[in-house]
Homo-oligomer: A and B are copies of this chain.
Amino acid sequence: MMMSYLFQGWNCRGPAKYRDMLLDIGTEEMAHVEMLATMIARLLESSPVEAQEDAAKNSAVRAVLGGTNLNDVLLAGINPQHAIVTGGGAAPNDSVGFPWNARYTIASGNLLADFRFNVTAESQGRLQVSRLYELTDDRGVRDMLAFMLARDTMHQNQWLAAIEELEQDGLGGTPVPATFPLDRELRAVAHQYWNCSESTASSAGRWAEGPAPDGEGTFEYLAHPTPLGPEPELGTVDPRLHGTPPVPIPATTK
């Protein structure tokens, strides 16, 4: 999330309040990374061999957080490669690093599209932190996670508020991107629900009837949608690509 927010901010061509807000929260995310890195580094110092009855449980938590120490490795057999590569430090690896690990950076230039991503990222993030919280009963780790859960609550609220603001400023709306002329799309199918299975349980939802959220139409439920055109047929392609043709090609005289 750190990288997404910073790049969204650096690329932001909208009003200054958005740019500043993006950089504020991007900076805060960097602090979160430091906090987690420190927590992991400390956990690696303090796990005495004696406390073996708790070891399996603790090492599960540490494995998720990206840390392991020699004793845990020998005892629980988790991810010894991590100890060998990082020597008892945190690392931003995919297979290890988790809450601070934005899998990819989104910065599309369209703030509404990006803010929707941001509220998603904070939602998946808080869900994962809550699961991690349930997995451990270490007091110190839980205190740390309680802080992160609260900040993720703030950030979900923050992005939802930013989406409201953007819409009130006339800078975004459904469907994204709102600046693309609607009459260029095939309006006839813009509010149709297509049932593509034998079950019609899907007809019971809000998405099957009534006004659509974009205020531009009414949902219509097609229980038996039909193809809009015939089955396609492919033609021939350059023989120099040596693909398989419909009928054998006579031998070239070379």
A150 CA to B212 CA in the complex, in Å?
A: 13
* Complex copy number for this chain: 6
Q: Which residue of B lies closest to A159 (CB)?
A: B207
Residue of A57, A93, A176 most packed against chain B (CB within 10 A): A176
Decide if the interface of chain A is mainly helix, strand, loop or mixed.
Answer: helix
Query: Which residues of B lie under 8 Å from residue A69 when comparing CB positions?
Result: 237-238
* A108 in complex: contacting residue of B117, B127, B171, CB < 8 Å: B127
Knowing A92-B3, A186-B147 are in contact, say whether A197-B27 is a contact too (CB < 8 A). Answer: yes
16 A-B pairs with C-beta separation under 8 A: A10-B38, A11-B86, A14-B245, A21-B201, A45-B237, A63-B80, A112-B244, A133-B180, A146-B186, A150-B185, A150-B186, A153-B190, A154-B191, A154-B192, A161-B213, A183-B254
Knowing A81-B98, A248-B169 are in contact, say whether A10-B73 is a contact too (CB < 8 A). Answer: no
A199 touches B252 (CB 8 A): no
A123 CA to B176 CA in the complex, in Å?
A: 5
B170 touches A248 (CB 8 A): yes
Near B by CB (< 8 A), chain A positions 121-169 give 123-124, 126-128, 130-135, 142-143, 146-147, 149-154, 156-158, 160-162, 164-166, 168-169
Query: Which residues of B lie under 8 Å from residue A128 when comparing CB positions?
Result: 84-85
Q: Which residue of B lies closest to A107 (CB)?
A: B89
A6 CA to B6 CA in the complex, in Å?
A: 16
A102 CA to B42 CA in the complex, in Å?
A: 27
A252 CA to B220 CA in the complex, in Å?
A: 28
Knowing A19-B201, A149-B180 are in contact, say whether A234-B13 is a contact too (CB < 8 A). Answer: yes
B45 touches A235 (CB 8 A): yes
A95 CA to B85 CA in the complex, in Å?
A: 12
Knowing A153-B190, A171-B245, A172-B244 are in contact, say whether A254-B181 is a contact too (CB < 8 A). Answer: yes
B214 touches A92 (CB 8 A): no
A114 to chain B, nearest CB (A): 8
Q: Which residue of B lies closest to A74 (CB)?
A: B57
Q: Which residue of B lies closest to A40 (CB)?
A: B11
